[in-house]
Structure 1
């Protein structure tokens, strides 16, 4: 049995009934997610936060044990050598997910600044952010920038879940997900003179607005179709091939899960 599933059954509780993570608890979560004993393929806290945000606003619920496995890149509990740190890490991560859900449960105009959803993002070390930006031979930006890994986590959640297809295939997809794509790429390929850092103060609010807007889009979609996206009555396009689940073997034949291979 999946260890994350067993753990969640033993520690299930109403996380939304407690106060939001304090600054000290958030710092502790950053520290625990950076533990060198974690799987080398485990997500950073930035990426995990973007991933959880996409799950929270997305088309259909993802079981806790599934996203824990995705974040830690293993079906077994992290930090088995230290049960105390293990328990604390999982508790804080679930608490953060509950905070995301609570913040996104109301409209931005109806909440205080302190209660508004904001992404978690690590500070970029001095010298790692190359400006003006430079591209490598593949057209990818070199170096680091703020919210890079948060946006990558959000993108990964979308890319490995076919239930996002109605939004991705429609005319609103590019507009609603544009800020996430921009922060993931680090530059605008249609505007070579664009500098993410120079526009950051204006773009950050747009990113938060987009998160709420994506949430609202899926609410309207479910209200119109009356079912979850995966149901035949809700599909906006016809598939030529069977749907590949995020935990299914990748159809390319690599032997890896789809979410860790072509789905990434």
Structure 2
């Protein structure tokens, strides 16, 4: 973790403090949300960050400031992934629990990606039915890697060993393929994701989405 930028170290600390996903799992989840054929509102995927089933199980933040800081860090990383993909230079975060085999750290990322797929299972069919085999294969490989991460060695796939051994290189290239296809299929850029207010935000407080504006002049307008 020491090699990570300060912002990511702070994000990792928040995830650990409130018992959320591993940083690599969050990275996979956010990448999946970004390349998903349908835009998914933060209010829907926020419980996934904390590995919770629904809103009622959200972590308890000690005050609005703690919530806003955590939201800001998550959304900044979301936007950074988009920036990196636009520059065709996205490097996924592969990390894990100390003591685990580093060669398997990609599995945490793949597990997070699979969480994003599970939020809109039918939406991803457009990739599976795509006329371009590159798109089909990119999505298929990411899902297979996710299944490997969930099932361990218990998976029947003709290219199982190859996928497992090449995962570190396959993941970034597959994500980029899906992102570029996602952009081609849209008439307008992605909507700016708005953070879910887990605690009531006062109108004159900074907006929790990280825009820097007051809440009443940003998300509070809706």
2:55 matched to which residue of 1?
75
Is 1:99 aligned to residue 71 of structure 2?
no
Q: Which runs of 5+ in 2 are unaligned?
A: 189-222
- 1:79–1:85 contact (8 Å) kept in structure 2: no
Aligned length: 173
Cα 1:79/1:120, change in 2 over 3 Å: farther
Superposed CA deviations along residues 98-144 of structure 1, whole A, max 9, x for unmatched, are 101212224x2xxxxxxx21112224533x339xxxxxxxxxxxxx8
Q: Which has the larger radius of gyration?
A: 1
1:119 matched to which residue of 2?
92
Is 1:204 aligned to residue 177 of structure 2?
no
2:12 matched to which residue of 1?
30
Q: Provide the C-alpha distance between the structure 1 equivalents of 2:160 and 2:144, rounded to a whole number of angstroms.
A: 13
Superposed CA deviations along residues 203-241 of structure 1, whole A, max 9, x for unmatched, are 423321111101122333446xx9xxxxxxxxxxxxxxx
Q: Which has the higher contact order (CA 8 A, sep 6+)?
A: 2
Is 1:129 aligned to residue 104 of structure 2?
no
Q: TM-score, normalised by structure 2?
A: 0.64
The match for 2:68 among 80, 87, 90 is: 87
Cα 1:125/1:183, change in 2 over 3 Å: farther
Superposed CA deviations along residues 159-193 of structure 1, whole A, max 9, x for unmatched, are 32122221124463541124423532156732565
TM-align CA RMSD:
3.1
- Pairwise mapping of residues 245-260 of structure 1 onto structure 2 (< 5 A)? none
- 1:78–1:86 contact (8 Å) kept in structure 2: no
1:181 matched to which residue of 2?
143
Q: Provide the C-alpha distance between the structure 1 equivalents of 2:168 and 2:130, rounded to a whole number of angstroms.
A: 24
1:104 is paired with a residue whose SS is helix
1:231 matched to which residue of 2?
none
2:201 matched to which residue of 1?
none
- 1:32–1:85 contact (8 Å) kept in structure 2: no
Is 1:168 aligned to residue 128 of structure 2?
yes
Tell me which protein shows more helix as a share of its residues: 2
